A and B are shown apart, each in its own frame.
Chain A
Amino acid sequence: MVVEIRRALSRRLVRVLVLVALLGIVIIAIGAFATSDPDAADAFSPADIWTPELDQSSDAAIVGGVSFLFLLMALLGGASVIGAEYKAGTITTLLTWEPRRLRVIGAKLAAAAIVAAVLFLVLEALLAGALAPAAVVRGTTEGADDDFYRSLAGFLGRGALLTGGCAVLGGAIATVGKNTTAALAVVLGYIVIVEQILRGLRPGWNAWYLGENLGIVLTGERLDDVVRSVPGAAAVLLFYLGVFVAVTLVVFARRDVT
């Protein structure tokens, strides 16, 4: 497992994604600092940022968007961790050292999940740190009470779990498709076909779309137009992930490595 975590952290794509995230954090922090007016009613406040409802304020929407971006990055990073093994052909070398395939793929998916979840927490912490000057100097810390911190802890916990799950999903698709590009194609295909076209044709199915369920779990709040509780949405996501992982394990265990 430790070896797999080291391998994951050594991936160039993972490092590039972290750099992109850091750059985004800096831009958001500068933007918040520059646009906040301490005397205005909507002065910048951390309580506005990490509130559950994504549509409560424009600041919160930014953080919600950033978190979704982290989920996509985790998916890509997870896909890369396994896709790179196939691309480089190192999966053959690895299996001649550890022939128990379920262990191999399990360790890889778990490493991807751990790395993604920890990076999510670190990046959210950096985002909070980067926004602190805007709140302290040009905004307000009003509203940052115990409830806020409880809500924030819940958001971070759910976000870390979702990010880890997305990394596992990315890794699972890359395992079946044998490369990172296959995972990207599947995700893009899903977004276009299901989240865009099918949603337009069958809006009543929205309780089953990934987007809605991810949104519910990430915010910890019911969405107005979706009949799904937070545990219900989590169960749906877990079911989808379970199916993908089960298929991946079967395919990987039975596949000829040539």
Chain B
Amino acid sequence: MAVIEVEGLRKEYRRLRGGPTLALDGLDVSVPEGGVFGFLGPNGSGKTTTIRCLLGLVRASSGRSRLLDAGPRELHTVIGRVGSMVETPQFFPNFSGRRNLELLARLDGIGRARVNETLDLVGLGSSAGSPFRTYSLGMKQRLGLAAALIKDPELLILDEPANGLDPAGIKEIRDLVRRLGSEGRTIFVSSHLLGEVQQMCDRVAILARGRLVTEGPVADVLAGGRASRLVVQVAPLEAALETLRSADLDATLDGHHILVQLPAEDAARVTEVLADARMYVSELRPEEIDLETVFLELTRSDGDATG
């Protein structure tokens, strides 16, 4: 079952000046139950607008969005099962973190013990008594996360949860999100920290200009549309390149190494060709593709196509 379903979602913001702005242009996304789902896209690609539409904060111009099988009008029937954090969380500046959280918790009849437990969980236990206005960006993020977690939700929607956190804080959030995802919950997390998403998520969707560019398990997205390549380190480089090409291998020079279009299981072919020419490889490994590379390629190509 999909816990989040978005079909043909379109959102146009009307402005008093400068004409309307198209934030979502027929977006389709389906988030299956359980695990961590990464929602990626460059600034202005429509990530936060999608989240706002899902949570009923903005009204879609057209299209359909469902959260735990509830449309925007029935959102109140499922909101108790959804924890969310949208952009930098905002609370009353003169109230302490604890008091802010208690006021929200009372809306759902959640007691003080759970408030304290959640504050400890996000590492805010000792500073929960300080006014919110004195909090650093990282502490604000943690309080926002506490507000999202306090309901013990089955679906967690997090918009840039690691924003403003230091490396240790980012790791804590990553570990927490992974743990929550492994408990059977669904975590829908938007982020621009691609390395984090790669480590944290089971599936990803990539957006560009309000449209879905690709979606699927992280491994599939990383491999998607690209032939496997081998990285070859050998000397002399130019002679080795010629040798490989003359053996009908698709080889190109890339800095101080050669890239050969071959799957990892055919690596022996490279050593054979080079060894026959009395050249011996010092390094031979499959090229590692990271999410950042794929992300940049996909979002750039989409931009080229539409721009």
Write the residues of chain A forming the contact surface with B, with a CB cutoff of 8 angstroms.
Answer: 2-3, 6-7, 10, 12, 84, 88-90, 92-100, 254, 256-258
Q: In whole angstroms, what is the CA distance A93 to B52 when docked?
A: 11
* B305 on the A face (CB < 8 A): no
A84 touches B56 (CB 8 A): no
Contacts of B84 in A (CB 8 A): 96
Write the residues of chain B forming the contact surface with A, with a CB cutoff of 8 angstroms.
Answer: 13, 52, 55-59, 75-76, 79, 84, 86, 89-95, 103-104, 106-108, 144, 147
Contacts of B95 in A (CB 8 A): 10
Residue on B nearest A90 in the bound complex, by CB: B90
Among A2, A12, A98, A256, which residue has its beta carbon within 8 angstroms of that of B94? A12
> How many CB-defined contacts (below 8 Å) exist between A and B?
63
B58 touches A257 (CB 8 A): yes
Among B13, B90, B93, B104, which residue has its beta carbon within 8 angstroms of that of A97? B104
Contacts of A257 in B (CB 8 A): 52, 57-58
Residue on A nearest B80 in the bound complex, by CB: A97
Q: Using A92-B86, A98-B79, A100-B76 as known contacts, say yes or no to A256 and B58 having CB atoms under 8 A apart.
A: yes
Q: Using A90-B92, A99-B75 as known contacts, say yes or no to A256 and B57 having CB atoms under 8 A apart.
A: yes
Min CB distance, B243 to chain A, in Å?
60
Q: Using A10-B95, A84-B92, A88-B92 as known contacts, say yes or no to A93 and B59 having CB atoms under 8 A apart.
A: no
Contacts of B89 in A (CB 8 A): 93
| Residue of A3, A84, A100, A258 contacting most chain B CB atoms (<10 Å) | A258
Min CB distance, B46 to chain A, in Å?
13
Contacts of B94 in A (CB 8 A): 12
Q: In whole angstroms, what is the CA distance A244 to B187 when docked?
A: 41
A99 touches B107 (CB 8 A): no
Q: In whole angstroms, what is the CA distance A247 to B106 when docked?
A: 29
| Residue of A12, A90, A97, A98 contacting most chain B CB atoms (<10 Å) | A97
Min CB distance, A44 to chain B, in Å?
41
Residue on A nearest B133 in the bound complex, by CB: A88
Since A3-B107, A256-B58 are in contact, a sample of 9 more A-B pairs with Cβ atoms closer than 8 Å, ordered by chain A residue number, is: A2-B106, A88-B93, A92-B86, A95-B56, A95-B57, A96-B79, A254-B59, A256-B52, A256-B57
Contacts of A99 in B (CB 8 A): 55-56, 75-76, 79
Q: Using A6-B103, A90-B91 as known contacts, say yes or no to A97 and B57 having CB atoms under 8 A apart.
A: no
Contacts of A96 in B (CB 8 A): 55, 57, 79, 84, 86
Q: In whole angstroms, what is the CA distance A256 to B15 when docked?
A: 12
Top 3 A-B pairs, shortest CB-CB distance = A89-B90, A256-B58, A257-B57
Residue on B nearest A96 in the bound complex, by CB: B84
B58 touches A3 (CB 8 A): no
B79 touches A93 (CB 8 A): no
Q: In whole angstroms, what is the CA distance A94 to B104 when docked?
A: 7
Min CB distance, B194 to chain A, in Å?
26
Min CB distance, A115 to chain B, in Å?
15
Min CB distance, B119 to chain A, in Å?
16
Min CB distance, A105 to chain B, in Å?
14
Min CB distance, A108 to chain B, in Å?
13
A88 touches B55 (CB 8 A): no
Contacts of A84 in B (CB 8 A): 92
Min CB distance, B4 to chain A, in Å?
15
Contacts of B107 in A (CB 8 A): 3, 97-98
